[in-house]
Amino acid sequence: MKKANLLTLLIVLGMVLGALYGQFLLYGCEEPITGSHWTKTAGDLTLIRPLKLLVIPLIFFSVVAGITRIGDPSKLGRLGIATLGYYFATMLIAVVIGTTLVSLIQPGELPEDVRMSVIAEGQSAFQGDSGLKGKVEGQSMGGAWTNILKQVIPSNVIEEMAAGRPLGLIVFAMMLGLALAAGGSRTQVARDFFDAGFEGLMILIQWVIWLTPIGVFFLLAWTVGKIGMAELIGPLGSYMGVVFVGLLFHMLVVLPLVLWMFTGINPYGFMSKMKPALLTAFGTDSSSATLPVTMETAELEAGCSKRASNFVLPLGSTINMDGTALYEAVAVVFLFQLYGIDLSMSELLIVVITATLAAVGAAGIPSAGLVTMVIVIAAVNGSLESAGLALPVAAIGVILGVDRILDMCRTTVNVWGDAVGARIMTRLAPDDPSTGE
Ligand code: ASP
């Protein structure tokens, strides 16, 4: 059996066994499963931490090596513009799908008594989660953008690395890569160093990747034990259904179509090769932690060039989030429906634009989308101000309980969007066939 197939099989096995064990924990244990449950700690230790350990060095080496390989600034400019164009276009499509579905299906139109009890439960869930409350209070459109700008123009790259903020590091690595490419023979040694360092990291990733089945076992057990499958059929069931359908449509129809249009390759064949990365995204809830697996799979299994992937994947894991964008649009419109506030066409347009921007602002970590959603709510509230209507921020407590499952699904779509981007950009930046670089 091929190594990639064996790995996929083991990851799926880990997930299934984890989900079963999670059910057992749910019904077999007296105490409730919390964030400090041992299964969560075990998942962190066996998968999340080893992957996160690789992310910052990987971004640094891969982006520098990728940029020096492309070298020519005009080629790089074209790749940069095409990549950003791809990110924004696909995120916008995702948001439009989400907004259309949630407006048509209206999952927030529930019987009055159910509505009231869902809202009351949500408010108390929000009040009880002091961590979320703190994060949410710091969110605003202006604040989020200043924050992104500050990350894009960092003043201390070591600080960015230490804080695990990838954006500033990517900018620095791109500048350094450009300078090393411009240095000609004077900087050859440094270029070789980054190339070899990157290859070394890829070997390390190929070792660490075998931890994935064990890690997803624990993480799935924790997730299933914590939420339980019963939520799926509760009053939030149709809201979750809309998110699932939207994500599936974007993942299985829209992105494959885009990939096929630009490359002519069989998108489902490509998807099948990317399985280890997609499953890891599903199990870890984090595009950032999945990045090592995404890069390994894209370059070694799925035919993406190093030149394209080294640029598109690290950047994509922090700013390209189709799944998050779609989810934020559905969640916000759903909450307004639940609170009995009708949104007009112009407010839906605000949702489309701000959900795209809020997804860009969300970090590739668990629940990031839940927090940046506040930006979308604030923007719509601003437009409703003259009518004296507003959705309280505490409303996000309503969807808190089911966020983990949706996070797993949207993170998978986020990573899939990055992979499709890398495969498309491979046409613009193929590797040199003689050296493979
Ligand atoms: N967990 C998502 C990711 O890492 C972000 C989100 O919360 O939507 O891609």
Give the pLDDT confidence of 214-263 residue by residue, as tens digits: 999 998 888 888 766 555 567 788 999 999 999 999 999 999 999 999 99
**434 in any annotated domain:** no
- The pLDDT tens digits of the residues spanning 338-385 come to 998 989 999 999 999 999 988 988 888 888 898 888 889 988 998 888
Closest ligand 1 atom to 367 CA: 7
pLDDT band per the 50, 70, 90 thresholds, residue 196: very high
Please say whether the dihedral angle defined by the alpha carbons of residues 140, 146, 149 and 153, taken in this order, is positive or negative.
Answer: negative
Write down the pLDDT at residue 397: 86
Residue of 219, 287, 402, 416 best suited for mutating to test ligand 1, as the one with most atoms within 8 Å of CB: 287
Q: Does the Cβ of 246 fall within 6 Å of ligand 1?
A: no
- The pLDDT tens digits of the residues spanning 41-61 come to 998 899 889 988 998 999 999
| Residue 409 CA to ligand 1 centre (angstroms) | 9
Task: Give the residue whose CA is nearest to atom 8 of ligand 1.
Answer: 369
Residue of 373, 407, 408, 413 best suited for mutating to test ligand 1, as the one with most atoms within 8 Å of CB: 407
Q: Does the Cβ of 286 fall within 6 Å of ligand 1?
A: yes
| Residue 43 CA to ligand 1 centre (angstroms) | 18
Write down the pLDDT at residue 348: 93
Closest ligand 1 atom to 363 CA: 5
Task: Give the residue whose CA is nearest to atom 1 of ligand 1.
Answer: 366
Q: Residue 233: give the domain boundaries.
A: 3-425
Residue of 223, 315, 410, 415 best suited for mutating to test ligand 1, as the one with most atoms within 8 Å of CB: 410
| Residue 432 CA to ligand 1 centre (angstroms) | 34
Task: Give the residue whose CA is nearest to atom 6 of ligand 1.
Answer: 369
- The pLDDT tens digits of the residues spanning 389-411 come to 888 888 888 888 888 889 999 99
Q: Does the Cβ of 46 fall within 6 Å of ligand 1?
A: no
- Using CA atoms, how far apart are residues 99 and 421, in angstroms rounded to an integer? 23
Closest ligand 1 atom to 371 CA: 7
**90 in any annotated domain:** yes
**224 in any annotated domain:** yes
Write down the pLDDT at residue 32: 66
**29 in any annotated domain:** yes
- Using CA atoms, how far apart are residues 359 and 375, in angstroms rounded to an integer? 10
- Using CA atoms, how far apart are residues 321 and 418, in angstroms rounded to an integer? 8
What's the whole-number average pLDDT of the chain?
88
Q: Does the Cβ of 52 fall within 6 Å of ligand 1?
A: no
**435 in any annotated domain:** no
Name, in order, each residue with C-beta under 8 angstroms of 430's C-beta and a sequence gap of 6 or more: 305, 307, 308
Indicate the number of domains in the chain. 1
Q: Does the Cβ of 365 fall within 6 Å of ligand 1?
A: yes
Write down the pLDDT at residue 48: 87
Write down the pLDDT at residue 84: 92
pLDDT band per the 50, 70, 90 thresholds, residue 152: confident
Write down the pLDDT at residue 96: 97
Write down the pLDDT at residue 432: 75
pLDDT band per the 50, 70, 90 thresholds, residue 109: confident
Closest ligand 1 atom to 368 CA: 7
**359 in any annotated domain:** yes
pLDDT band per the 50, 70, 90 thresholds, residue 435: low
**250 in any annotated domain:** yes
Q: Does the Cβ of 320 fall within 6 Å of ligand 1?
A: no
Does 368 or 150 have the greater pLDDT score?
368
| Residue 414 CA to ligand 1 centre (angstroms) | 8
pLDDT band per the 50, 70, 90 thresholds, residue 331: very high
**149 in any annotated domain:** yes
Write down the pLDDT at residue 273: 94
Write down the pLDDT at residue 114: 81
Amino acid at 47: L
Q: 11 with 283: CB under 8 angstroms?
A: yes
Closest ligand 1 atom to 323 CA: 8
Write down the pLDDT at residue 75: 83
Give Cα separations from 403 to 192, 358, 409 (angstroms). 44, 17, 10
**Domain containing 19 — which CATH number?**
1.10.3860.10
Write down the pLDDT at residue 69: 83
Q: What is the mean pLDDT of residues 202-214?
A: 91
Write down the pLDDT at residue 395: 87
Residue of 278, 290, 365, 376 best suited for mutating to test ligand 1, as the one with most atoms within 8 Å of CB: 365
- Using CA atoms, how far apart are residues 15 and 182, in angstroms rounded to an integer? 47
Residue in this structure with the two tokens 């309980």, named with its chain if needed: 401
| Residue 29 CA to ligand 1 centre (angstroms) | 30
| Residue 280 CA to ligand 1 centre (angstroms) | 13
Phi, psi of 134 (to 5 degrees): -60, -45
pLDDT band per the 50, 70, 90 thresholds, residue 269: very high
- The pLDDT tens digits of the residues spanning 126-146 come to 777 777 777 766 666 666 677
Write down the pLDDT at residue 393: 85
Name, in order, each residue with C-beta under 8 angstroms of 255's C-beta and a sequence gap of 6 or more: 90, 267, 322, 416, 417, 420
pLDDT band per the 50, 70, 90 thresholds, residue 421: very high
| Residue 406 CA to ligand 1 centre (angstroms) | 10
Q: What is the pTM of this model?
A: 0.89
Write down the pLDDT at residue 386: 81
